[in-house]
């Protein structure tokens, strides 16, 4: 079996200011060009940096190329997935190992332009936690990409209350302590700014360049739009109700139950007092159905509450994040523990 961990410069830990995280899935033609362009931008910045290429199960020569680059240039970190886990998982792995104070994500297909990095950093340093790229002049097919994305962006903006023009743009800069706190599963990377709002992040966007894809193929089709819309439900839930699921399920459940309950009460009334036959009344089925659905939803809400508690307690997560603590000068052990757990 191939060596799993290869450290080229021994175990020296150097301070890193900027970590660039790039998911790579079959980008063999793009990698060498991307590397050259990135290097020329980053060397000009005169800041310490690392470039983390996460190879997400490529079937072409991408990993060979990443390995070669890493052996030649100590700024490169290569991570090789066992199989294709998806772009979001690749970003997540990058976030986990990034050493920088700032993490910048981008695509590996040359559609994002490394020349935008200095501008992202500049704006981040004006006091933001996330600066998101906005592909103002997007170079993708209008019908299959740009139009669905406009609609999705509008929906996401309305639903989450985080107002960006372009959630899907991978080129983003994050303050590392924010990026590392975000749960990044499934295909959620576009929702990171929205989720970041729940940890109190300050978010802004700037226009960035966008180029057509020249080498290799896009990994996504139109079906992504539907997945994004489904994910949006989850994000809305996570943002507003993750600590109080009973409010959603129970709220709807209670309304249904009450409508059903009064419908049945009415039927009982006319049966008993007016002596009418109610067996043939559609209202009977309607009422019964509503009462049952109501009870089901309320129980789902209670189960969800229990799961939420397990979720927070199992991970020792707190439903709050402390920015700073001020007390008599020395922090008590409890204060330190709370602070560290949350930061």
90 binds, among Mg ion, ligand UDP, none (CB under 5 to 8 A by kind): ligand UDP
| Three-state helix/strand/coil letters over 254-314 | HHHHHHHHHHHHHHHHHHHCCCCCCCCCHHHHHHHHHHHHHHHHHHHHHHHHHHHHHHHHH
* 129 touches Mg ion (CB under 5 A): no
Contact by Cβ (8 Å): 308, 238: no
Nearer to ligand UDP, 214 or 285 (CB): 214
Contact by Cβ (8 Å): 207, 250: no
Contact by Cβ (8 Å): 203, 197: yes
Q: Show contacts with ligand UDP in window 216-255 (CB under 6 A).
A: 218-220
Measured from the CB of residue 74, what is the shortest distance to ligand UDP in angstroms? 23
| One of 78, 86, 260, 301 touching ligand UDP (CB under 6 A) | 86
Measured from the CB of residue 111, what is the shortest distance to Mg ion in angstroms? 4
- Give the SS3 label for residue 128: coil
Q: How far apart are CA 43 and CA 40, in angstroms?
A: 5
Q: How far apart are CA 157 and CA 147, in angstroms?
A: 15
Q: Which region among 104-112, 176-184, 192-200, 229-237 touches ligand UDP (by CB under 6 A)?
A: 104-112
Measured from the CB of residue 100, what is the shortest distance to Mg ion in angstroms? 23
Q: How many beta carbons lie within 10 A of that of residue 284, not counting itself? A: 15
| One of 28, 56, 109, 116 touching Mg ion (CB under 5 A) | 109
List of residues 6+ apart from 307 with CB closer than 8 A: 245
* 87 touches Mg ion (CB under 5 A): no
* 87 touches ligand UDP (CB under 6 A): yes
Phi-psi region of 275 (alpha: psi -120 to 50; beta: other; left: phi over 0): left
Token pair of 74 as six digits: 């100590």
| One of 16, 18, 19, 23 touching ligand UDP (CB under 6 A) | 23
Nearer to Mg ion, 57 or 108 (CB): 108
* 34 touches ligand UDP (CB under 6 A): no
Query: Long-range contacts of range 281-289, CB-CB < 8 Å, 24 or more positions apart?
Result: 286/260, 287/259, 287/260, 287/261, 287/263, 288/260, 288/264, 289/260
Measured from the CB of residue 211, what is the shortest distance to Mg ion in angstroms? 9
Q: How far apart are CA 152 and CA 148, in angstroms?
A: 6
Contact by Cβ (8 Å): 114, 18: no
146 binds, among Mg ion, ligand UDP, none (CB under 5 to 8 A by kind): none
Measured from the CB of residue 145, what is the shortest distance to Mg ion in angstroms? 9
* 205 touches Mg ion (CB under 5 A): no
Binding mask 45-64 for ligand UDP (x = CB under 6 A): -----------x--------
Q: Which residue has the tokens 């929702």?
A: 191
Q: Which residue has the tokens 């970590």?
A: 19
* 111 touches Mg ion (CB under 5 A): yes
| One of 16, 18, 20, 24 touching ligand UDP (CB under 6 A) | 24
Q: How many beta carbons lie within 10 A of that of residue 251, not counting itself? A: 14
* 339 touches ligand UDP (CB under 6 A): no
Q: How many residues bind Mg ion (CB under 5 A)?
A: 3
Nearer to ligand UDP, 220 or 286 (CB): 220
Give the Cα-Cα-Cα angle 162, 166, 167 (nearest 5 degrees): 60
* 27 touches ligand UDP (CB under 6 A): yes
Q: Which region among 202-210, 215-223, 229-237, 332-340 touches ligand UDP (by CB under 6 A)?
A: 215-223
Q: Show contacts with ligand UDP in window 105-164 (CB under 6 A).
A: 107-109, 111
Q: Which residues bind ligand UDP (CB under 6 A)?
A: 23-25, 27, 56, 84, 86-87, 90, 107-109, 111, 218-220
């Amino acid at each position: 079996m191939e060596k799993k961990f290869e450290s080229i410069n021994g175990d020296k830990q150097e301070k890193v200011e900027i970590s660039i995280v790039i998911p790579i899935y079959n980008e063999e033609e793009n990698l060498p060009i991307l590397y050259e362009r990135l290097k020329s931008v980053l060397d000009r910045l005169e800041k310490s940096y690392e470039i983390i290429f996460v190879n997400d199960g490529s079937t072409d020569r991408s990993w060979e190329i990443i390995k070669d680059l890493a052996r030649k240039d100590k700024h490169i970190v290569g991570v090789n997935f066992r199989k294709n886990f998806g772009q979001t998982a690749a970003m997540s792995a990058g976030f986990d190992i990034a050493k920088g104070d700032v993490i910048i994500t981008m695509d590996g297909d040359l559609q994002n332009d490394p020349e935008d990095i200095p501008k992202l950093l500049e704006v981040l340093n004006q006091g933001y936690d996330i600066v998101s790229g906005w592909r103002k002049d997007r170079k993708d097919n209008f019908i299959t990409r740009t139009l669905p994305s406009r609609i999705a962006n509008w929906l996401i903006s309305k639903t989450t209350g985080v107002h960006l023009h372009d959630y899907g743009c991978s080129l983003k800069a994050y303050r590392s302590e924010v990026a590392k706190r975000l749960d990044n599963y499934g295909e959620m990377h576009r929702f990171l700014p929205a989720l970041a709002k729940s940890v109190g992040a300050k978010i802004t966007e700037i226009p960035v360049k966008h180029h057509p894809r020249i080498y290799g193929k896009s990994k996504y089709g139109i079906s992504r739009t539907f997945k994004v819309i489904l994910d949006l439900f989850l994000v809305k839930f996570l943002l507003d109700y993750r600590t109080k699921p009973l409010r959603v399920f129970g709220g709807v459940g209670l309304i249904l139950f009450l409508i059903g309950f009064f419908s049945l009460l009415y039927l009982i009334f006319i049966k008993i007092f007016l002596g009418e036959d109610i067996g043939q009344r559609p209202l009977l089925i309607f009422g019964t159905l509503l009462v049952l659905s109501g009870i089901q939803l309320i129980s789902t809400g209670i189960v969800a509450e229990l799961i939420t508690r397990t979720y927070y307690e199992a991970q020792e997560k707190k439903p709050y994040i402390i920015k700073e603590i001020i007390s008599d000068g020395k922090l008590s052990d409890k204060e330190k523990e709370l602070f560290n757990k949350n930061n």
